[in-house]
Structure 1
Amino acid sequence: MDNNEIGDSVGTLDGAVIAVAGAGGPAGHAALLRLAQAGATVIGADADPERLAEGVDAARYAHGGATVIGDTVDLLDGPATTRWAEGIEKEFGHIDGLVHLVGGWRGSASFDATDLMDWDFLEKLLIRTVQHTSLAFHEALRRSDRGRYVLISAAGASRPTSGNACYSAAKAAAEAWTLALADSFRKAGGEAGPSAAATILVVKALVNDAMRAERPSAKFAGYTDVRELADTVAGIWAQPAAEVNGNRLWLTKKP
């Protein structure tokens, strides 16, 4: 499914409660703002409290009256992630989404120069955090009438390059895990179809204004702006669960 199938029509998210994992980075900041603009109550989590607070404050300031909360959570800690999910549901009564924006990259000049220490690093950030958040939020999302789990992935998972073996393999594993979550939602929906969905958004890479300022001559060809990504994320809730569950939505050219 291509991103133009989502379109520019983003339905209201009034009353929705959406958690954002990895909310301290530029993509997280953009997602907090966009989801708040759409009317959602947004709870961001990050291991860096300062970066998280910047995004939360910016979203609150830009959209007065929005409920935007920041929680410092170590998503590599499974029990802590579960407590985070349980706390959100206890406070607000329901959870309608988890947006997974935890990222990281390491690569090498060639395949034979691959350092498996990079795998150890990326396995934690790109796979373990997906496992912890999906398991922690699964039941709450399944109970919601519009539950969504949104994973941000990379085109390299489908066509790995020689210097990105660890990164591409970790992204592919995270996608497989998310598709297993989608199958769980499908089975839970039975003949009526799923009410919750797990979806993968695929980018080549992300770009933001700070990156453009640092490299004014760079073209960033094929990159997705973090604001465009945030618009697409918010649009997931406007699509029927059955249409997006278990699908990859491409924001870049398919390899």
Structure 2
Amino acid sequence: MNGIGKGNGTGTLEGAVIAVAGAAGPAGRATLLRLAEAGATVVASDANPERLAEAVDAARYAHGGATVTGDTVDLLDLSAARDWAAKTEKEFGRIDGLVHLVGGWRGSATFEETDLADWDVLEKLLIRTVQSTSLAFQGGLQRSDRGRYVLISAAGASRPTAGNAAYASAKAAAEAWTLALGDAFRRAGGDEGPRTAAAILVIKALVHDAMRAERPNAKFAGFTDVKELAEAIAGVWDKPAAEVNGKRLWLTPQP
């Protein structure tokens, strides 16, 4: 793992309140489990209410006594995102993190075959949801003594390939937006440095147990297991804000 260590597993997130956007997929499920295990109160959201309920129930069941809640939030709507942030802070008294796991992929065999309709989809999934969550949660994160905004990005944003023009461009835009948030946190910290951090975890691609079962002979070279990603997410809180703010933290070899 390049750029950040794993969480230390000693409950360093005890008492923290962390929101997870895009929580119902495999990475979201692993993240809910890891954050609950570390002692955090976890507030999950996803566009799919059935899958979200299953993910929340699984995290609660695995860690009896953990507070894990779920909300169906339209993160394309800034006012809805702001309502979610305000509700979370009002209910739990603080907000210490936003983990952005909203994903999606569209691509083509060649550059010439790129369909601009793919961009329309990816702009909403990969950029607009980052804009909404960052603007909605910035104030609450800055009021925290350990606020973190964590974006999951892809190595392709730094080295786009011909068939991934729309996807790589959307990921690069999401990274730029998150780095701008990091600069806002830096400015807010003044001479003492940032108290709050916006960090980017960069992967090649994700793999999970179901994928391995479906393709038992595949190597998945360079892929990050969703459990390893969840460990790295928790590990962002182990580092001082100044060490991770505005940084790309590579979980795959840097191109």
Bin for the TM-score computed over the shorter chain: over 0.9
Cα distance in 2 for partners of 1:83, 1:9 equals 33
* 1:115 correspondence with 2:115: yes
Alignment of structure 1 residues 55-134 onto 2, 5 Å: 55-134=55-134
Q: What is the match of residue 254 of structure 1?
A: 254
> Retained in 1: the 8 A contact 2:7–2:238?
no
- Could you say what secondary structure the match of 2:112 adopts? helix
User: Greater CA deviation, 70-79 or 242-251?
Assistant: 70-79
> Retained in 2: the 8 A contact 1:149–1:197?
yes
- RMSD of equivalent CA atoms: 1.0
* 1:233 correspondence with 2:233: yes
Cα distance in 2 for partners of 1:10, 1:180 equals 31
Alignment of structure 1 residues 15-54 onto 2, 5 Å: 15-54=15-54
The one-character-per-residue Cα deviations of 1:149-197 (angstroms, maximum 9, x if unpaired) are: 0000000000000000000000000000000000000000001111100
Q: What is the match of residue 5 of structure 2?
A: 6
The one-character-per-residue Cα deviations of 1:84-126 (angstroms, maximum 9, x if unpaired) are: 0000001011100000000000000000110000000000000
TM-score by length of 1: 0.98
- Could you say what secondary structure the match of 1:111 adopts? coil
Cα distance in 2 for partners of 1:53, 1:213 equals 24
Q: What is the match of residue 153 of structure 1?
A: 153
> Retained in 2: the 8 A contact 1:6–1:239?
no
> How many corresponding residue pairs?
254
Cα distance in 2 for partners of 1:211, 1:61 equals 24
Cα distance in 1 for partners of 2:42, 2:240 equals 21
Cα distance in 1 for partners of 2:138, 2:2 equals 26
> Retained in 2: the 8 A contact 1:101–1:152?
yes
TM-score by length of 2: 0.98
Amino acid at match of 2:84: W
Cα distance in 2 for partners of 1:151, 1:178 equals 7
- Could you say what secondary structure the match of 1:152 adopts? strand
Cα drift, residue 10 of structure 1: 4.5
Q: What is the match of residue 180 of structure 1?
A: 180
Cα distance in 1 for partners of 2:138, 2:209 equals 34
Cα drift, residue 2 of structure 1: 2.5
Structure 2: segments with no counterpart, 5+ residues: none
> Retained in 2: the 8 A contact 1:10–1:235?
no
- Could you say what secondary structure the match of 2:165 adopts? helix
1:229/1:82 CA distance change after superposition, 3 Å: same
Cα distance in 2 for partners of 1:7, 1:210 equals 23
Identity %: 74
Structure 1: segments with no counterpart, 5+ residues: none
Cα drift, residue 6 of structure 1: 2.1
Amino acid at match of 1:36: A
Cα drift, residue 8 of structure 1: 4.8
Cα drift, residue 74 of structure 1: 1.1
Amino acid at match of 1:30: A
